Amino acid sequence: MAEQKVIHTDILIIGGGTAGCMAAVEAKERSPKSSVTILEKAHVDRSGCLAGGMNAINAYINKGETVDRFVDYVRSDACGLIREDLVRTMAELFEYGVKRVEKWGLPILCDEKGDYIPRGRWNIKINGESLKPILARAARSAGAQIYNWIVVTNLLMDQDRVVGAVGFSLRSGALYVVQAKATIVATGGAAGLYRPNNVGDASHKTWYSPYNTGAGFAMGIRAGAEMTSFEMRYVALRTKDTIAPTGTIALGVSAPQINAKGERFMATRYADIGGDGAPTPYRTYGPLMEMKEGRGPVYLDTRGLSAEQTRALRAAYLDMYPSMVLYWAANGIDPAKVPIEVQTTEPYIVGGHCQSGYWVDVNRKTTLEGLYAAGDVSGGAPYKFVSGCWAEGVMAARAALDGMAQSPLPHVPESQIRLEEERAFAPLKRHLRHGVTPPDLEARLQKIMEQYAGGASTYYEMNEEMLGIARTHLAQLPTECEYLVASDLHQLMKAHEVIDRVDVAQVLVEHLSFRKETRWPSYQTRVDYPKRDDANWLKFVNSRRDKSGTIEMFTRPY
Amino acid sequence: MPVWIDPDLCNGCHGSRQPPCLRMCPGDLIVKDQTANKAYLKYPEDCWDCLPCVKVCPEEAIEFHLSYQFGAKGAKLIPHVHRTNDTITWELIDIHGAKETFTVPTKLIPVAIDEKIEEAEQAIDFSI
Ligand SMILES: Cc1cc2nc3c(=O)[nH]c(=O)nc-3n(C[C@H](O)[C@H](O)[C@H](O)COP(=O)(O)OP(=O)(O)OC[C@H]3O[C@@H](n4cnc5c(N)ncnc54)[C@H](O)[C@@H]3O)c2cc1C
Ligand code: SF4
Ligand code: SF4
């Protein structure tokens, strides 16, 4: 038996990232007497998506704009389908979150009048290199108990109610059993489901954090939570090789996309849906089709920028994606002279850009009693970004405080803890000479997803037959997980990352198969149902895995 | 290798068991060899290129490289963190040796040289 640490807390937050830190502060400020505990798999100072920093807040109601117009914009950007209640409530709290983080020390760029400087319609510019340490410090000063390097592996259940979580310490190997009156899951989205674009020592050079591996989705799936819209995957348009966000160029210096012939193809071929301002999936799909049809590579046309503009562009990347700047220097690229080549990424599941995640009510309560979700792990509200994650952290904290007051004391059978302990440490205890290592299983999973579930090499396209093969192959993997071996605690974490991704991938394939239309080209290109079909499919595709492991699919009305 | 810890410059943060580079890596990729008193990147293939390790090293012992597949050696990007005035100066040297610097405002949150972690001292060594 591993050493065991038992913690009792009022509110447990799983994942001390963007949403998690904000939830901790909100809970402590609203209810100073309540105990708030964060379990974080890395160190809160630099964990998750914000590790490298940020250079913009991508969702904000700028002067002259309104929440209504934001909701309209997000609806059209998501091709007609969103949870308006969720998008509206988050937008109403953008300012609340942003002002607090500014107070905690984040430099936000202002003009002479003291107004934030917009970058595009809904964004504002920041010097956010230290955004994550700023949030972590706020959570710490607010009095949250933070446990770093705890890899959470499962939720604790009292019948159908969530009453905490279990994890292990990456440092000591101790088992952490945290019993809570209310639990907030904030583990971010999932990278690593598909084969990465880059190889070798760059195989983790993905856009989304490679350390967010869908743990929160997987825990929920195993506990029977309802999930929504996994089929709205996120395939990002990013700079070639470095996979840096393109908004810095496209919005920062208004560079249009051009193909190899210099043609502004978005303006010509996609004029009817907004040209260069088309919904985000089309801004991935457009360039993809140029490449598929032999008119690639595709570029962002930065030629003719002034020396001052190129310098500002590089400075902006230093705040978020320094490798872009080094890449230009190493390849002798001057963005003022040559256009910047772009490519598309491996698909991710990210509830903050798209809307895949937990099905929640307007207060961010999941379908499981006692469990709330915030940030990229929560579904239904695309265009969330950092400010929306903060807003959801705030809402989840408020709802958790309310819910906690009414909840009875949890009862967790000892047998459940022992079972989870066994499951959590099993890969360490297997002494198989021919066991499966985490990288082996990851490669198997990624190969299946890449080739049959709409990976980059098939231009993200799929049909029923391909998805059927993916389903069959994936069905083997849960048993294969029983051969997983880990030589140390770091490898044990890697083992759980792949176990979690297998659970997520199975649900994802069912979602992709269920939606018989193409609503979000490139995110979800069904070649056998190539058209958007509002008459039949303007609704949410949801799922729930039952105790036997069967994934039940159903729809919810818009 | 995306980042490289220069063993001549790393002083192991003296006796620190959990030096800043190791703590701030979101992927848990850096370990410290306590006997040699040096930190090293144990899992280069899992590096995200996010640079907290580089920025927090008090000795500026960690070099930022591109994966070689992405571009020529020789170019350099070095952040100098000014712990007193909330700025970072990035020194950029391109493949032709041209130098440029960028000073960017930030908010510096001090990072301790060590951090006591519950139970870490009696950590079980599973390594083989
Ligand atoms: C490279 C990049 C650039 C971006 N740029 C911008 C930008 O400029 N502006 C903007 O508004 N948005 C930007 N975004 C989007 C934004 O950063 C994310 O939407 C947001 O940070 C997600 O917040 P989160 O709390 O859901 O996830 P995170 O902040 O990633 O937090 C998740 C946390 O959960 C932890 N965790 C995961 N699994 C476990 C587990 N099993 N046990 C314990 N802990 C676990 C992780 O370590 C992490 O700390 C960017 C995203 C990326 C990846
Ligand atoms: S922070 Fe720098 S000096 Fe300290 S151990 Fe790490 S590499 Fe060495
Ligand atoms: S660059 Fe990021 S992922 Fe790579 S070693 Fe440094 S902190 Fe870790």
B32 belongs to a structural domain: yes
CA dist A122 → A23, A75, A237, A251 (Å): 23, 14, 19, 10
User: What is the ipTM metric for this complex?
Assistant: 0.95
Peptide bond connecting A297 to the previous residue in cis, omega within 30 degrees of 0: yes
Ligand 1 test: best mutation among A358, A386, A496, most atoms within 8 Å of CB? Answer: A386
Structure letter (DSSP) for residue A119: S
CATH of domain A4-50+131-188+350-411: 3.50.50.60
Q: Return the best residue to mutate from B11, B59, B60 for the ligand 2 pocket (most ligand atoms within 8 A of CB).
A: B59
Ligand 3 atom 4: the closest Cα is on which residue? B47
Q: Which of A11, A79, A16 is nearest to A43 (CA)?
A: A16
Beta carbon of B12 within 6 Å of any ligand 2 atom: yes
Closest CA to B126 of A438, A485, A177, A42: A485
Distance CA A387, CA A131 (A): 12
Domain identity same for B53 and B95: no
Partner B contacted by A105 (CB < 8 A): yes
**Rounded mean pLDDT of B3-24?**
95
Q: Would you call B8 an interface residue with chain A, using a CB distance cutoff of 8 Å? A: no
- Quick one: B90 and B76 in the same domain? yes
Whether B39 maps to a domain, the answer reads yes
What does the buried/exposed string (b/e) look like for A322-345 if buried means 16 or more CB atoms within 10 Å of the residue's CB?
A: bbbbbbbbbbebebeeebbebbbb
- Nearest chain B alpha carbon to A200: B45
Do B13 and B50 share a domain, yes or no?
A: yes
Least CB–CB distance from B64: residue in A133, A199, A326: A326
Residues B98 and B61 in one domain: no
| Claim to verify: residue B46 and residue B91 sit in the same structural domain | no
Ligand 2: does its nearest atom lie under 6 Å from the Cβ of B37? no
Please give the CATH topology (third level) of the domain spanning A238-344.
Answer: Flavocytochrome C3; Chain A, domain 1 (3.90.700)
Q: Which atom of ligand 3 is nearest to the CA of B24?
A: 7
Residues B81 and B62 in one domain: no
* DSSP 3-state percent helix, strand, coil across chain A (nearest 5): 40, 20, 40
Tell me whether B93 touches chain A (CB under 8 Å): yes
Interface check for A435 against chain B (CB to CB < 8 A): the answer is no
The residue type at B35: T
Q: In the prediction, which pLDDT does B118 show?
A: 61
Q: Half-sphere exposure of residue A400, counting CA atoms within 13 Å on the CB side?
A: 37
Q: CATH no. for residue B38?
A: 3.30.70.20
What's the A15 CA to ligand 1 centre distance in angstroms? 9
Catalytically annotated residue among B48, B68, B90, B102: B48
Q: Please write the tens of the pLDDT for every residue from B38-82.
A: 999 999 999 999 999 999 999 999 999 888 999 888 899 999 998
Check: CB of residue A240 under 8 Å from CB of residue A345: no
Nearest atom of ligand 1 to the alpha carbon of A393: 25
Per-residue burial over A347-368, b if 16 or more Cβ lie within 10 Å, else e, is bbbbbbbbbbbbbbeeebbbbb
Tens of pLDDT along chain A (558 residues) come to 679 999 999 999 999 999 999 999 999 999 999 999 999 999 999 999 999 999 899 999 999 999 999 999 999 999 999 999 999 999 999 999 999 999 999 999 999 999 999 988 999 999 999 999 999 999 999 999 999 999 999 999 999 999 999 999 999 999 999 999 999 999 999 999 999 999 888 999 999 999 999 999 999 999 999 999 999 999 999 999 999 888 778 776 778 899 999 999 999 999 999 998 899 999 999 999 999 999 999 999 999 899 999 999 998 898 888 899 999 999 999 999 999 999 999 999 999 999 999 999 999 999 999 999 999 999 999 999 999 999 999 999 999 999 998 877 778 889 999 999 999 999 999 877 779 999 999 999 999 999 999 999 999 999 999 999 999 999 999 999 999 999 999 999 999 999 999 999 999 999 999 999 999 999 999 999 999 999 999 999 999 999 999 999 999 999
Using DSSP, state whether A140 is helix, strand or coil: helix
Q: How many domains does chain B have?
A: 2
Ligand 2 center to residue B44 CA distance, Å? 16
H, E, C per residue of A409-471: CCCCCHHHHHHHHHHHHHHHHCCCCCCECHHHHHHHHHHHHHHHCCCHHHCCEECHHHHHHHH
Query: Taking the model in full, what pTM does it have?
Result: 0.96
Chain A residues close to B102, C-beta within 8 Å = 311, 314-315, 318
CB distance A11 to A182 below 8 Å: yes
Tell whether B99 lies on the interface with A, counting CB pairs under 8 A: no
Dihedral angle, C-alpha A167, A170, A171, A176, nearest 10 °: 0
What's the CA gap between A49 and A132, in Å, rounded? Answer: 9
Q: Kindly give the number of the ligand 3 atom that is closest to the alpha carbon of A51.
A: 2
Q: Which residues of chain A from 201 to 260 reach within 8 Å of chain B, CB to CB?
A: 201-206, 209-211, 241-242
What are the residues whose beta carbons fall under 8 Å from the beta carbon of A284, sequence distance 6 or more?
A: A235, A236, A237, A344, A522, A523
User: What is the predicted pLDDT for the residue at B119?
Assistant: 47
Integer Cα distance of A78 and A231 in angstroms? 13
Among A39, A183, A385, A503, name the best residue to mutate to test ligand 1's pocket (greatest count of ligand atoms within 8 A of Cβ).
Answer: A385
Determine the 3-state secondary structure of A41 from DSSP: coil
How many whole angstroms from A51 Cα to the centroid of ligand 1?
8
CA distance A486 to A500: 15
Query: Is residue A183 within 8 Å of A155, Cβ to Cβ?
Result: yes
What Cα–Cα distance (Å) separates residue B93 from each residue in A60, A129, A314, B55, B99?
A: 36, 21, 13, 18, 5
CB-based contacts of A174, cutoff 8 Å, min separation 6: A2, A3, A4, A5, A168, B119
Asked if B66 and A174 come within 8 Å (Cβ–Cβ), the reply is no
CATH for the stretch A415-541 = 1.20.58.100
- Distance (Å, whole) CA A177 – CA A298: 51
Residues having CB closer than 6 A to ligand 3 are B 2-3, 25, 27, 29-30, 41, 47-53
Q: Where are the domains of chain A?
A: 4-50+131-188+350-411, 238-344, 415-541
* A375 backbone dihedrals φ, ψ, rounded to 5°: 90, -155
Residue-number span of the structural domain to which B50 is assigned: 1-66
Write out pLDDT tens, residues B76-126: 999 999 878 899 999 999 999 999 999 999 998 889 999 877 644 444 444
Tokens (6 digits) for A21 = 């830190």
- Kindly report the protein residue whose alpha carbon is nearest to atom 6 of ligand 2: B21
Q: Which amino acid is at B105?
A: P
Q: Do A52 and B50 touch (CB under 8 A)?
A: yes
Cα–Cα distance measured from residue A192 to residue A281, given in angstroms and rounded to the nearest whole number: 20
Residues lining ligand 1, CB < 6 A? Answer: A 14-20, 39-42, 47-50, 54-58, 151-152, 167, 186-188, 207-209, 211-212, 215, 245, 320, 352, 375-377, 384-386, 389
Q: Is B4 a catalytic residue?
A: no
Tokens (6 digits) for B60: 């500026």
Measured from the alpha carbon of residue B34, the closest ligand is 2
| B48/A204 Cβ within 8 A | yes
Q: Note whether residue B117 is domain-resident.
A: no
B85 shares contact with chain A (CB less than 8 Å) = no
Predicted local confidence at residue A1, as pLDDT:
64
Of B50, B95, B118, the CB nearest to A332: B95
Tell me: do B62 and B4 sit in the same domain.
Answer: yes
My answer on whether B84 and B24 are in the same domain is: no
